[in-house]
Structure 1
């Protein structure tokens, strides 16, 4: 029971962090960073836009994963169902080091924060897989038969 409360608090904390970061990134990349973006050369502006999309992608993947964890906690989904590849965190978009170095300071901070949040969430996703006992093939077949009939 204590482990469940700790898990729920961790998920809720990460969810708030992800939503705040998503709002900050949206504000910056949509409006706040416009002058910084326009001061860049054309190729760097394209890289800036690509990085904005990568930040958004990382954050949306994290938020979707956290919502899946909330569904598990609420009993709406089983832990095993959450291990389906479509519900796992997956791979993060990679930021090129040279492109990162050419970004304005605030863009670098947002990119770095999204990478770090994704990294921490990926550790939880990996731990989730390791914590479940292996499902026997016979048990799996019986569960599929129960669903079918």
Structure 2
């Protein structure tokens, strides 16, 4: 008669996080190019056409332009920093642990969706750049949550009692 007991030895497999795989993938390379392209296009706009367009605005649109250009620049700086840190990890220039040190850490925070008074009067190109930066921010925030969840799972598996917890989970599956 065959016994269905607890498995004595679980296969040992190297854990590769989604973050490790993603940062070396063509998808990350595409995201990196998109992000850096957006930074460049925004800088060109703000230094050229945007500067000229902002001079024609009247209150409250001129105030909205000023505040939104600061928010846009800050958002893009954070996103570029995040992308550069991830690229450095993928290239082996720094480790993931080093990236979490305060010196390399990039903190992304949720963005406000409240639009200031006068937003609708802002130049169309400027509003498009804002929307594009918000979409990129949302994508990177989702990735960061996945990376963070993967790091928590990897830390749990690295626990000295991790294999025992896994055996219990396998022996008593949830109903």
TM, length-normalised to structure 2? 0.65
Query: Higher relative contact order at CA 8 Å, sep ≥6: structure 1 or structure 2?
Result: 2
| Alignment root-mean-square deviation, CA | 2.7
The aligned length equals: 137
1:107 aligns with 2:123: no
37-46 or 18-27: bigger deviation = 37-46
Aligned residue number for residue 7 of structure 1:
23
For each residue in 1:18-57, what CA deviation from the matched residue of structure 2 results, as whole angstroms up to 9, or x when unmatched? Answer: 2211121112122102343222213321220221121111
User: 2: CA distance between counterparts of 1:57 and 1:125?
Assistant: 18
Q: 2:93 aligns with which of 63, 69, 76?
A: 76
103-112 or 11-20: bigger deviation = 11-20
Mind listing any 5+ residue stretches in structure 2 that lack a counterpart?
Answer: 1-15, 161-175
For each residue in 1:48-107, what CA deviation from the matched residue of structure 2 results, as whole angstroms up to 9, or x when unmatched? Answer: 022112111111111111111112112232223334466134215535324433322111
Aligned residue number for residue 97 of structure 1:
115
Contact 1:62 1:89 in 2 (8 A): no
Match of 1:40, SS state, is: coil
Aligned residue number for residue 66 of structure 2:
49
User: 2: CA distance between counterparts of 1:79 and 1:33?
Assistant: 38
Aligned residue number for residue 4 of structure 2:
none
7-16 or 91-100: bigger deviation = 91-100
Q: 2:55 aligns with which of 32, 38, 63?
A: 38
TM, length-normalised to structure 1? 0.75
